[in-house]
Structure 1
């Protein structure tokens, strides 16, 4: 898995590497979203972190990006520059695959941004990274997130149970959504997506 694209411009968004100077911003937005994120995102239980830890984490994301371990992008509105969320491409599901992950600031939901991000990272995987299979793992309780891969043409292949349990003591269930390269179809309203290889400050 190799990715040289450090900046992605979509019709409404810019996806780019975080920089250490944005540690305070990231912390503030995460802290404000923790209650909403807690049921869906396992690492949210480790929050809140101090700002120094966030700065270290951003540096590690940059290192991971250029080491081709995984790729973290901050998501910002193109017009206003406002923070929207964070997105990731993981290679942990095996050779020839990527897994998409993201979280959106609750102040920015309802605008279709998660769908726009998912489309951009899917297109990046197939057209610039030579990936054959893109996956999303979505908590079965999270109906809003399930609609995103469904809209883009992903297939819900199966649901599995985890060791972890919910507040009622039931095992958590996750849906696995899959798209293969030959199944990717362009979505006209997102097709002005532009991929760039730049310095981390751009």
Structure 2
């Protein structure tokens, strides 16, 4: 599994927290021990993911590749190049999906990406995790702008940024990668600026740095 990436840059703002706790979820940096949990989440969700996640066409992968991916995610987190999180059940025994804050959209901007495993859809997990990352992106990382980008065919996902107060700015044609042999895909961009953050979004989350010290 490898999400869409732009040219590697380091985030110019403050470091993202390594662990975020919401009412129902633990959202944290992946660790090597999570490799089997991530593989299970992906392998059981391929039919669900392949419609809108082109990288999923490279799955399934051996467990060893997932272990290397965990190491890469941690390295990118430590250097500020990219902040990829696992979305875990509260007891951390199951990966419910993945999300991230990605510094690939220009100065002081972060993009939120996410997917949820097939058995955990329609439970508000993507909304809850995106709300938490929106607040963290502004109040901890110091972003000025956060975007959520969605393929227009994926209308079910449009409700997530709208519910959080993001503004639909534009639909760009042929901008997203697609599986080999298919045309590039369109993307709709939803944007929120720092001054537009609603204080009621994710009011009770807790966020911690790499040392376990609370930062929010």
Tell me if the contact between 1:132 and 1:180 (Cα under 8 Å) persists in the aligned partners.
yes
Q: Which residue of 2 aligns with 1:179?
A: 192
Gaps of 5+ in 1: none
Counterparts of 1:1-202 in structure 2, within 5 Å, are 1=11, 2-78=14-90, 81-162=93-174, 172-187=185-200, 190-199=202-211
- Which stretch of structure 1 is more off in the superposition, 51-60 or 15-24? 15-24
Normalising by the residue count of structure 2, what TM-score does the alignment of the two structures yield?
0.85
**Structure 2: distance between partners of 1:128 and 1:60:** 23
**Structure 2: distance between partners of 1:32 and 1:70:** 26
- Which stretch of structure 1 is more off in the superposition, 59-68 or 12-21? 12-21
Gaps of 5+ in 2: 1-10
Q: 1:4 to 1:140 in 2, by over 3 A?
A: closer
Deviation per CA, 1:106-133, whole angstroms, max 9, x where unpaired? 1111111100111111101100111000
Tell me if the contact between 2:52 and 2:151 (Cα under 8 Å) persists in the aligned partners.
yes
Deviation per CA, 1:147-183, whole angstroms, max 9, x where unpaired? 10000000000001116679xx776221000000000
- Which stretch of structure 1 is more off in the superposition, 11-20 or 147-156? 11-20
Q: How many residues align?
A: 197
- Which stretch of structure 1 is more off in the superposition, 131-140 or 154-163? 154-163
Deviation per CA, 1:37-91, whole angstroms, max 9, x where unpaired? 1121121122111110000000000000000000011111225743211111110
Tell me if the contact between 1:90 and 1:98 (Cα under 8 Å) persists in the aligned partners.
yes
**Structure 1: distance between partners of 2:26 and 2:137:** 17
Tell me if the contact between 2:23 and 2:204 (Cα under 8 Å) persists in the aligned partners.
yes
Hey, which bits of structure 1, 4+ residues long, moved more than 4 A? Answer: 163-166
**Structure 1: distance between partners of 2:78 and 2:94:** 26
Tell me if the contact between 1:12 and 1:79 (Cα under 8 Å) persists in the aligned partners.
no
**Structure 2: distance between partners of 1:4 and 1:171:** 31
Richer in helix (by share): 1
SS at 2:33 equivalent = helix
SS at 1:160 equivalent = strand
